[in-house]
Amino acid sequence: MTSPEISAGDLIALVRNYNPKTNAKRIAEAYEFGMEMHEGQFRHSGEPYFTHPVAVAAILTEQRLDDATIITALLHDTIEDTKASYEEVARRFGNEVAMLVDGVTKLTNLQLSSRETKQAENFRKLFMAMSKDLRVILVKLADRLHNMRTIKAMRPEKQAQKARETMDIYAPLAGRMGMQWMREELEDLAFRVLNPEGRQSIIRRFVTLQRETGDVIHRITGDMRSELEKAGIEAEVFGRAKKPYSIWRKMQAKDQGFSRLSDIYGFRVITQSEDDSYRALGVIHQRWRAVPGRFKDYISQPKSNGYRSIHTTVSGRDGKRVEVQIRTRQMHDVAETGVAAHWSYRDGVRSENPFAVDPAKWISSLTEQFDAEEDHDEFLEAVKLEMYSDQVFCFTPKGDVIKLPKGATPIDFAYAIHTRIGHACVGAKVDGIRVPLWSRLRNGQSVEVITAEGQTPQVSWLEIATTGKARTAIRRALREADRARFVKLGHELARSAFEHVNRKATDKALETAARALRVSSVDELLARLGAAEIVAHDVVQAVYPDLTAHESDEISMRRAVIGLEPGQSFERAPCCQPLPGERIIGITYRGQGVVVHAADCDRLGEYEDQPERWVDVHWHSGTHPAVYSTTLEMIIGNDAGVLGRICTLIGEKKANISDLEFVDRKPDFYRLMINVELRDVEQLHSLMLTLEAESDVAEVVRFRDKPVNRAIPG
């Protein structure tokens, strides 16, 4: 069997970093036993299955957990998926480990995403298992985290199911237990599966913002360190961009666009003492302007899960707002690891953290509160309301529960019931009182949707709706309303294209084109033509292939440009890389012939006072070979297989890649330059549309070199 990337020695070294007194022999034995039990088993990705338990154990070392938890992680699937029994695990590794492994196995077998009473009963079992030993859920959360990190290997429908379960259950649970870093990563990994376009739009805006403002994080952290040093405060300062899902959720909750969000960047100041935390707050407020209403003191009033920190939002001279959190090292440990702080080790001993609050008390209170509760649905709703601070549960007049994100409106409620109800919505009553459609719903409210025959969705609803279901349904309805406009535009494009070959776009010609292009009707053909989903040239060629056949005779590069003197050669300007089909201008150079620029090239401004060097040229109207190099600047997701898919797409568009260079690498994305050889500008536009449609492509632009101060050849 192939050994996992993390060897037994590597794993033991990770544990020794925080627990020098670890029992290395027991961990090595568990590693060998787990590898032997999983022999011959493989993951969806094709890797040996044992790579998964080892990765889960490595995640738990980041939280400095005890030996029993690390060993449980290595063995957490042995009782369920191998020939190993509870008794054998107990005999080899002790009753404590056997009970933990059995607890994780039982959690794995719970179908938490099933429906109604069964789901409520499984939630009850989940909390009971957690109340016995919280380390069970720590292993289960690490198990889910690694599965989400490697989810790409699963079937799409399985990915969606796991991602939804993660978003609904495991991420909120991690957050409720104070493990904010895990909640954020689980949410973002699920967001990548459930709404890849939304996530890419956030990344794309981040990249644009970074390009416009530079490295804001480095600049602000440096300023904060400098101010704190002047005040004699010893502190660490960290800055980071928030996760895409965190930003997306804030955009939805605050009903604001990306540019108006004040907490895209977060900064943490870690001090030596509580007194220093308040002194640091004073220093920051003296240096930067505090934003009213954005100050919270969780040190004097801690959250129920033990979280303590000072939160403030400040703005600089440029008006940009940033969020700052200030806390001590011990408070920071609780803020990062939550319940894991109870089990963490430092220098071989359990670390005592006075700020850690045991979430087991919360779990116990829930199980006690509903221990005698016979109404499972009521139990489930109470549990969800307790766990999901970012969701609201409202009722229909019949008493059915509708789950919506925090900040949802009656429009979202209407579409959650049925698309037909949403389309016909004209108003709403909340708890019997008529309210505007933009009102924000709160937990426990009863909502009645008022409908009217003939009502259709309004464009303004897109600003009111927050849920994906509502916004998608509204956009689809608005598109249908635009269909008549697209059909009219398509008819004009078809008429022009047919006239280009001295023919008319008759009904019969369009019917023939629709059949040839396998489009259901002439109206559908025209609508797609008007929406730029079909090219007019293809419509004409479908009817009159002989009239467009001459265009297949490729024009050699020697004859490509018309307007040159006999014997005069040309070169394409590297700054703008003009393509056949674009308007061009020639500039003469001594000994170099003519350099051809695109008519909109910024470099042409350098020759405004030299009109004698300008040459009136244009491209030959025939078909050109795919030999004209063009540079595309792309930002793509940092995921396995993305680059391969992009190269495949480029090949499918009959373009050749002549060069490729990575110019920036970040944890979430890559920026690269790709040189492709193209036929003309129409092929370029088609290629860029195809690439933009790929969910893992955040941005694709045609690279144009801008003028700089340098010598101009004479």
Q: What is the mean pLDDT of residues 507-528?
A: 88
Q: Look at residue 504 in the predicted model and tell me its pLDDT.
A: 87
Catalytic residue among 29, 47, 80, 511: 80
DSSP single-letter state for residue 596: E
pLDDT at 374 exceeding the cut of 50: no
Q: Look at residue 579 in the predicted model and tell me its pLDDT.
A: 94
- Choose the weakest-confidence range: 127-141, 248-262, 271-285, 591-605: 248-262
Which residue would you say has higher pLDDT here, 439 or 558?
Answer: 439
Q: What is the mean pLDDT of residues 492-516?
A: 84
- Tokens read off for 329: 């090292």
Residue 178 to residue 357: CA distance in whole angstroms: 9
pLDDT at 256 exceeding the cut of 50: yes
Which residue would you say has higher pLDDT here, 14 or 711?
Answer: 14
Q: Look at residue 551 in the predicted model and tell me its pLDDT.
A: 47
Residue 18 to residue 67: CA distance in whole angstroms: 11
Ranges 170-179, 405-414, 531-540, most confident:
405-414
The answer to whether 5 and 53 have CB atoms below 8 angstroms apart is: no
Beta bridge partners of 240: 266
Ranges 316-320, 459-463, 494-498, most confident:
459-463
Q: Report CA-CA distances (Å) from 118 to 171, 375, 376.
A: 21, 12, 9
Residue 626 to residue 649: CA distance in whole angstroms: 16
The answer to whether 290 and 340 have CB atoms below 8 angstroms apart is: no
Catalytic residue among 29, 47, 62, 81: 81
Q: What is the mean pLDDT of residues 492-509?
A: 81
Residue 4 to residue 350: CA distance in whole angstroms: 29
Q: Look at residue 145 in the predicted model and tell me its pLDDT.
A: 94
pLDDT at 243 exceeding the cut of 50: yes
Q: Look at residue 226 in the predicted model and tell me its pLDDT.
A: 94
Q: Report CA-CA distances (Å) from 316 to 208, 214, 296, 337, 473.
A: 20, 15, 20, 31, 41
* Residue closest to 587 by CA, chosen among 566, 604, 567: 604
Q: Look at residue 580 in the predicted model and tell me its pLDDT.
A: 92
**Band of pLDDT at residue 713, cut at 50, 70 and 90:** very low
Tell me the percentage of the chain whose pLDDT exceeds 70. Answer: 82
Ranges 78-87, 125-134, 558-567, most confident:
78-87
Which residue would you say has higher pLDDT here, 212 or 606?
Answer: 606
pLDDT at 656 exceeding the cut of 90: no
Number of alpha carbons in the 13 Å side-chain half-sphere of residue 674: 25
Q: Look at residue 340 in the predicted model and tell me its pLDDT.
A: 67
Which structural domains are found in the chain, ordered by start? 8-194 (1.10.3210.10), 198-350 (3.30.460.10), 390-466 (3.10.20.30), 474-552 (no CATH), 557-619 (no CATH), 628-702 (3.30.70.260)
Collapsing DSSP to helix, strand or coil, 29 comes out as helix
**Band of pLDDT at residue 115, cut at 50, 70 and 90:** very low
Q: Report CA-CA distances (Å) from 470 to 407, 409, 417, 429.
A: 14, 10, 10, 19
Number of alpha carbons in the 13 Å side-chain half-sphere of residue 666: 16
321-328 and 310-315 beta bridge pairing = antiparallel
Neighbours of 130 (CB within 10 A): 26
Tell me the percentage of the chain whose pLDDT exceeds 90. Answer: 26
pLDDT at 167 exceeding the cut of 90: no
Contacts of 557 (CB under 8 A, 6+ apart): 625, 627
Residue 156 to residue 162: CA distance in whole angstroms: 10
Residue 242 to residue 263: CA distance in whole angstroms: 8
pLDDT at 679 exceeding the cut of 70: yes
- Tokens read off for 213: 């403002």
Collapsing DSSP to helix, strand or coil, 531 comes out as coil
Q: Look at residue 116 in the predicted model and tell me its pLDDT.
A: 44
**Band of pLDDT at residue 357, cut at 50, 70 and 90:** low
DSSP single-letter state for residue 587: E
Q: What is the mean pLDDT of residues 470-486?
A: 79
Q: Return mean pLDDT, the chain.
A: 81
Instruction: Encode pLDDT of 631-644 as tens digits.
Output: 999 998 877 778 77
Q: Look at residue 117 in the predicted model and tell me its pLDDT.
A: 45
Clarify whether 80 is annotated catalytic: yes
* Residue closest to 145 by CA, chosen among 244, 48, 60: 60
- Choose the weakest-confidence range: 26-30, 463-467, 549-553: 549-553
Which residue would you say has higher pLDDT here, 304 or 402?
Answer: 402
Angle between helices 24-37 and 67-75 (to 10 degrees): 10
Q: Look at residue 57 in the predicted model and tell me its pLDDT.
A: 94
Residue 455 to residue 575: CA distance in whole angstroms: 53
Clarify whether 81 is annotated catalytic: yes
pLDDT at 1 exceeding the cut of 80: no
pLDDT at 302 exceeding the cut of 90: no
pLDDT at 546 exceeding the cut of 90: no
Q: Look at residue 6 in the predicted model and tell me its pLDDT.
A: 86
**Band of pLDDT at residue 711, cut at 50, 70 and 90:** very low
Q: Look at residue 230 in the predicted model and tell me its pLDDT.
A: 94
Q: What is the mean pLDDT of residues 549-571?
A: 74
Q: Look at residue 552 in the predicted model and tell me its pLDDT.
A: 45
- Choose the weakest-confidence range: 171-180, 354-363, 619-628, 641-650: 354-363
Instruction: Encode pLDDT of 182-195 as tens digits.
Output: 888 999 999 999 88
pLDDT at 404 exceeding the cut of 70: yes
pTM for this prediction: 0.53
Which residue would you say has higher pLDDT here, 691 or 337?
Answer: 691
Q: Look at residue 315 in the predicted model and tell me its pLDDT.
A: 84
Which residue would you say has higher pLDDT here, 394 or 126?
Answer: 394
The answer to whether 706 and 582 have CB atoms below 8 angstroms apart is: no
The answer to whether 401 and 393 have CB atoms below 8 angstroms apart is: yes
